[in-house]
Amino acid sequence: MITAGIDCGAKNTKTVIMQDGKIIGKGMVLTGFDQAKAVEDSLVLAVQHAGIIRKDIQRIFGTGSGKDAITAAEDTVDDIKAMARGARYFFANARTVADVGFEEGRAVKLDEQGNAVDFAINEKCAAGAGAFIEAMSRVLEVTIAEMGPLSLQSGRDIPMNAQCVVFAESEVVDLIHSRTSKADISKTIHDSIASRIVSMIRRIGINEDVALIGGVGHNEGFMDSMAKQLKVNTIYVPEDPEFGSAVGAAVSAAESK
């Protein structure tokens, strides 16, 4: 059976195509202001990548903040279920799953069967989401891809007083003016957002294994800060973490009758 999961997020729209439990195609485009177009474009990309034709897809499920724009979807999956299903697809023992997207941070606690027993969401404040890192990278004039490796070079703990992105920007400017290295500032930035995410996870409690999905999973600097603050050895991250929820939707589509 071939299914597709489409995750229409605040920043990117992702499509995953699965056949009999295996991922066979992926497509990702910027969501921009036209969600319907982004959904269509990402689906076309994924179909090409899978080397199938559109009609081969038997069922499509949608998820993400723009899920209502996914007209091709037969049904929608709520964000919590999608992230849990997606993470468990990669890591069958995951009991705590964090999803750090561009505008939202979420954490869900799972029982042994993978059912959600509790969750926490931050959707009000950019300080606990990927938007924070992006804004800081602009101030620091370093690409997001460079920030991760840079911060791993730093051994210093410089606390960030501000939580809010707007105030943190001024604080980063102050650090630059006082000639703090970009490595040290990068670490400060990652420590800061990690502490927002970790405090959200603590609210629901931490059970190992801990898994993380969402684009921030690419950032090894952030992952290092988060693992240290959570006091765990490993946080499991799939290869393409931004597709986590789309995988969850595709899995849900395959499971439904």
Partner 1 sequence: MAEEQKQEFWRWPESNWKNPELDWRTSTFIAVGIDVGSVSSQAVIVTDGEILAYGNMRTGFDSPNSARNAYKFALDAIGMPEERMNYCIGTGYGRVNVPFANRTLTEIACHARGATFIYGPGVRTVLDVGGQDIKSIQCDEKGKVTNFLMNDKCAAGTGRGMEVFADLLGVPITEVGDRSFEFKGEEPPAVSSACVVYAKAEATGLMRKGWTREEVLAAYCKAMADRIFSLVERGGVKPGFAVTGGMAKNRGVMDRLMKKIGIERMQTLWDTQIAGAVGAALFAYAMCLKAEGGRRKSEG
Strand order in the sheet with 75-76: 22-30, 12-19, 2-8, 59-63, 75-76
When binding is defined by CB under 8 A, the residue of 24, 125, 204, 232 that contacts partner 1 is 125
When binding is defined by CB under 8 A, the residue of 58, 71, 117, 124 that contacts partner 1 is 124
**Least distance to partner 1, CB of residue 166, Å:** 4
C-beta separation of 145 from 136 below 8 A: no
Please identify, among the stretches 41-49, 118-126, 136-144, 197-205, the one whose residues bind partner 1 according to the rule CB under 8 A.
118-126
Closer CB to partner 1, 81 or 106, in the complex: 106
Please identify, among the stretches 89-97, 125-133, 202-210, 242-250, the one whose residues bind partner 1 according to the rule CB under 8 A.
125-133
Closer CB to partner 1, 62 or 66, in the complex: 66
Q: Angle between the 144-152 and 182-204 helix axes, to the nearest 10 degrees? A: 90
Please identify, among the stretches 62-70, 124-132, 191-199, 213-221, the one whose residues bind partner 1 according to the rule CB under 8 A.
124-132
When binding is defined by CB under 8 A, the residue of 60, 135, 147, 198 that contacts partner 1 is 135
**Least distance to partner 1, CB of residue 211, Å:** 26
Using CA atoms, how far apart are residues 97 and 114, in angstroms rounded to an integer? 10
Give the residue carrying structure tokens 């970790």. Answer: 198
Please identify, among the stretches 39-47, 126-134, 185-193, 240-248, the one whose residues bind partner 1 according to the rule CB under 8 A.
126-134
Using CA atoms, how far apart are residues 221 and 114, in angstroms rounded to an integer? 28
The angle at the Cα of 103, spanning 100 to 108, to the nearest 5 degrees, equals 40
Using CA atoms, how far apart are residues 240 and 235, in angstroms rounded to an integer? 14
| Residue 194: closest CA among 239, 237, 224, 161 | 224
- Which residues ranging from 162 to 181 are in contact with partner 1 (CB under 8 A)? 163-167, 170, 173-174, 177
Using CA atoms, how far apart are residues 233 and 231, in angstroms rounded to an integer? 7
| Residue 148: closest CA among 183, 114, 121 | 183
- Which residues ranging from 29 to 48 are in contact with partner 1 (CB under 8 A)? 33
Closer CB to partner 1, 11 or 59, in the complex: 11
Number of shown-chain residues binding partner 1 (CB under 8 A): 18
**Interface residue list for partner 1 (CB under 8 A):** 10, 33, 103, 124-126, 131-132, 135, 163-167, 170, 173-174, 177
